[in-house]
């Protein structure tokens, strides 16, 4: 299989300028895609990433946009297409998704709507915007980035939204074949983001490692590589799948 199996394909990564999104953007560029890196406010960071991606060839672009609302997500797809020379987006990685652990019984309506809209409603709007171009081209790949929290029941609205993203993936796979495959990944706690979760739960990382068969946290690069490969020929026969990338952490024990 050629290493540049995405050559000539236009890709969009929502929330693609930092953290896991940046690793995914880079992984797609390494495999030949021309990538629109979405950012909300970090223009300098996004442009630096684009410059790094350019070392692998291709025509990449930093694209500003608020992908936390349906209207913003739809606008972002149009802007990404324009930034990549008017070509339709044929690879969509829905990576954006804000975090919250506020208990449901204490959660304001606005917070519930904010997390749900950014994770599900905005993803739907982005998908709706890219599907016509994918179908016309006869080929498309959509990868939704859920989270290990989809398997938990104490991460509140974040768990609910990320679990819904798994069902959304399966429904889209049924609707959009055969031209378009739709898959999902559920990363466990990522090593580089350990400090972030520690702000909410100081003991979470130690407990996660202790419960993980491989004895460590996964890395952004590991997750990004699998996301990119899901868009390649090795996975042409896979659609509607959700792949846990967590070293076995999600497996039930007793």
Model pLDDT for residues 13-24, shown as the tens digit of each residue: 999 999 999 999
Predicted confidence (pLDDT) at residue 251 exceeds the cutoff of 90: yes
Confidence band for 71, pLDDT divided at 50, 70 and 90:
very high
pLDDT at 196: 86
**Least confident among 97-101, 137-141, 184-188, 197-201:** 197-201
Predicted confidence (pLDDT) at residue 101 exceeds the cutoff of 70: yes
Query: What pLDDT digit, counting tens, does each position of 176-214 carry?
Result: 999 999 999 999 999 999 988 888 889 999 999 999 999
Provide the CA 205 distance to its chain's centre, in angstroms: 22
Helices vs. strands in the chain: H and E counts, helices first: 9, 7
For residue 184, give every residue at least 6 positions away whose Cβ sits within 8 Å of its Cβ, in sequence order, or none. 143, 144, 145, 146, 165, 166, 169, 241, 242, 243
Alpha carbon distance 186, 146 (integer Å): 5
pLDDT at 253: 83
Query: What value does the mean pLDDT take over residues 6-35?
Result: 98
Confidence band for 130, pLDDT divided at 50, 70 and 90:
very high
Predicted confidence (pLDDT) at residue 118 exceeds the cutoff of 70: yes
Predicted confidence (pLDDT) at residue 30 exceeds the cutoff of 80: yes
pLDDT at 1: 57
Residue 215, beta-bridge partner list: none
Instruction: Decide: 32 and 6 in contact? Cβ < 8 Å.
Output: yes
Residue 35, beta-bridge partner list: 11
Terminal-residue alpha carbon distance, the chain: 42
Predicted confidence (pLDDT) at residue 2 exceeds the cutoff of 80: no
Inter-CA distances, 57 with 92, 95, 229, Å: 20, 23, 18
pLDDT at 225: 98
Where are the domains positioned within the chain? 10-242
What single DSSP character describes residue 88?
Answer: P
| Fold (CATH) for 10-242 | Rossmann fold (3.40.50)
Instruction: Decide: 93 and 28 in contact? Cβ < 8 Å.
Output: yes
Instruction: Decide: 182 and 176 in contact? Cβ < 8 Å.
Output: yes
Query: What value does the mean pLDDT take over residues 140-159?
Result: 96
- Average pLDDT, whole number, for the chain? 96
Please state whether the predicted TM-score (pTM) of the whole model is above 0.95: yes
3-state SS class at 214: coil
The tokens of 57 are what? 């060839």
* Residue-by-residue DSSP string for 20-83: HHHHHHHHHHHTT-EEEEEESS-HHHHHHHHHHHGGG-S--EEEE--TTSHHHHHHHHHHHHHH
Rg of the chain in Å (alpha carbons)? 17
């Amino acid at each position: 299989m050629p290493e540049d199996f995405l050559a000539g394909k236009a890709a969009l990564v929502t929330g693609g300028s930092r953290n896991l999104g940046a690793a995914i953007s880079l992984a797609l560029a390494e495999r030949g895609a021309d990538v629109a890196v979405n950012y909300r406010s970090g223009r300098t960071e996004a442009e630096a990433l684009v410059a790094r991606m350019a070392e692998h060839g291709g025509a990449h672009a930093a694209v500003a946009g608020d992908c936390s609302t349906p209207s913003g997500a739809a606008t972002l797809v149009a802007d990404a297409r324009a930034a990549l020379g008017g070509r339709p987006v044929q690879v969509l990685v829905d990576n954006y998704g804000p975090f919250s652990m506020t208990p449901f019984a204490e959660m304001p309506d606005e917070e519930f709507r904010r997390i749900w809209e950014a994770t599900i409603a905005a993803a739907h709007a982005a998908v709706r915007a890219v599907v016509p171009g994918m179908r016309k081209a006869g080929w498309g790949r959509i990868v939704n980035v859920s989270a290990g929290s989809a398997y938990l029941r104490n991460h509140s609205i974040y768990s609910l939204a990320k679990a819904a993203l798994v069902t959304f993936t399966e429904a889209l796979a049924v609707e959009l074949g055969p031209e378009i495959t739709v898959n999902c990944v559920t990363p466990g706690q990522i090593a580089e983001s350990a400090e972030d979760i520690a702000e909410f739960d100081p003991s979470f990382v130690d407990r996660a490692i202790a419960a993980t068969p491989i004895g460590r946290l996964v890395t952004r690069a590991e997750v990004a590589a699998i996301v990119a490969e899901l868009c390649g020929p090795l996975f042409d026969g896979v659609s509607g799948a959700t792949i846990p990338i967590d070293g076995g952490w999600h497996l039930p024990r007793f």
